[in-house]
Amino acid sequence: MNSPLPIEFPESQDWLDCGWLDSLSSVRAPVDEINRRIVNGALDEKVASVDAKSRWIEIGAGDGKLRKWLPDWLRNQVFHTEPSAEYLQQFRLENVDAEPVEASVYDLPYDDNSIDGILGLCVFDALHDLPAAVTELRRSLRSGGHVIHFLDLGLACLETIFLDIHEAGQIPVPNYLAEPAMKSASFAGPASDGDEILNDLTLCSVDRFSQVVQYLESVGHGYGAPMRKWLNAWLDSPRSAARLFMGIVSHAGDRAQFMQMLIVVHQLTNAYPNLAMEAKSVSTVSLFCKRLSSLFSDENGFRDASSEILVGREWKSPWPSLPDQCSYFGRFAGQVVAHRAARPIPIGRVISEQAGIPAAESVLVESGILFFHAVAK
């Protein structure tokens, strides 16, 4: 049996390092104005206006990106909190009209029942103890106060989601089922079901995964060792496995090797009923939404918790990093699509759409933000 290329798992890294700020700005640049209009539209729908005496805060303000997206009628009502001194320094450089406060979401410097609204951009997904944060948010909020969270990028931290997957007796791997080798796909057009684009994980039962690993080892297959390594990492600590996983999928070469391994193993075992992976595709976004709903619950002092993908679109001039002959670019909660056909992808609810006739060389650009809203009881 041919021996595959060895797979080396990367060392765990801190994926919340402050060096991300510049890279996140460049990632957001093509859809920055669309995102601003999405945020404005969502706030207009849920809040509409605020009293001059109302008090709003932002948690995890980072370098102040959300402040730049806020509508004029709300921006000056918002106090910004951020636990990182380095982020605070960057915030002050880019937002000279505001003075952020160094504070953790787990210990906000505000009295009980004193806040009318709490905002966040890509914060809930990065917290290691979301239940504790929810408790602190409810303590600070007045009855009827809003919690509003926007997620325009992929989840920064998979630890809490991986704990849920672990508890369910499953093991996650990157979504190899969406690879061209596993399904019909081409650059010419989008997937038939827009929601499939968000599917970034494949889940398999731990028992079946273990059986597959044992089979590979018994026949001396070269992928037995790396599959065993991932299984052991998962069984030892889903938290550590989450950091390892983020390292793999964030490095193009490591991700490609891991995907190739999974495809080969799937094809090798799929013919045998007792070895077939029986894997299914899911999205971290959907799992994240379920977790938010379970935490911002009636029992925890909240009502009307809801999540949805809000979409904005416009025609833009092409930029250098786009693929050749690209007529469509979409970014949906971290997942990116680029293809030749200038057709929108049916993901979420369109809340902002640019009017007018596009120029001949324009690219249809869409952005989808996961919007979460709950109200304190």
Q: What is d(CA 73, CA 44) in angstroms, rounded to the nearest whole number?
A: 10
Confidence of residue 191 (pLDDT cuts 50, 70, 90): very low
Residue 180 burial (10 A CB sphere; 0-12, 13-18, 19+): exposed
Beta strand 201-205 with 280-282 is: antiparallel
Helix-strand-coil percent breakdown of the chain, rounded to 5? 40, 25, 40
With CA atoms as reference, report the closest residue to 209 among 230, 195, 194, 181. 230
8 A C-beta contact, residue 283 and residue 201: yes
DSSP label at residue 346: -
Rounded mean pLDDT, 110-130 = 95
Tokens of 299: 């029992």
Rounded mean pLDDT, 173-200 = 70
Q: Is 84 helix (H, G, I), strand (E, B) or coil?
A: coil
Q: Tell me, what's the pLDDT at 188?
A: 38
Q: Using alpha carbons only, give the angle 346, 162, 83 rounded to the nearest 5 degrees.
A: 90
Residues 6+ apart with CB under 8 A from 223: 4, 7, 216, 261, 264, 265
Lowest mean pLDDT among 1-10, 74-83, 153-162: 1-10
Return the bridge partners of 350, or none: 311
- End-to-end CA gap in the chain: 63
Chain-centre distance for alpha carbon 146: 22
8 A C-beta contact, residue 326 and residue 340: yes
Confidence of residue 251 (pLDDT cuts 50, 70, 90): confident
The predicted-structure confidence for 283-336, as pLDDT tens digits, reads as follows: 999 999 999 999 999 999 999 999 999 999 999 999 988 988 899 999 999 889
Return the beta strands (E) in 197-325 as ranges. 201-205, 280-282, 302-316
DSSP label at residue 103: -
Rounded mean pLDDT, 242-263 = 90
Residues 6+ apart with CB under 8 A from 312: 31, 34, 35, 37, 38, 41, 350, 351, 352, 353, 366, 367
Q: What is d(CA 352, CA 332) in angstroms, rounded to the nearest whole number?
A: 14
Residues 6+ apart with CB under 8 A from 26: none
Q: Tell me, what's the pLDDT at 21?
A: 63
Tokens of 371: 């919007």
Question: Which residue ranges does the chain devote to CATH 3.40.50.150?
Answer: 20-154+285-309+370-376
Q: What is d(CA 275, CA 269) in angstroms, rounded to the nearest whole number?
A: 5
Rounded mean pLDDT, 73-95 = 93
Q: What is d(CA 132, CA 10) in angstroms, rounded to the nearest whole number?
A: 31
Domain 20-154+285-309+370-376, classified CATH 3.40.50.1970, yes or no: no
Q: Using alpha carbons only, give the angle 94, 100, 102 rounded to the nearest 5 degrees.
A: 125
The predicted-structure confidence for 197-249, as pLDDT tens digits, reads as follows: 899 999 999 999 999 999 999 999 999 999 999 999 999 999 999 989 988 88
Q: What is the mean pLDDT of the chain?
A: 89
Confidence of residue 7 (pLDDT cuts 50, 70, 90): low
Query: What global pTM score does this model have?
Result: 0.89
Q: Please say if the pLDDT value at position 258 is more than 90.
A: yes
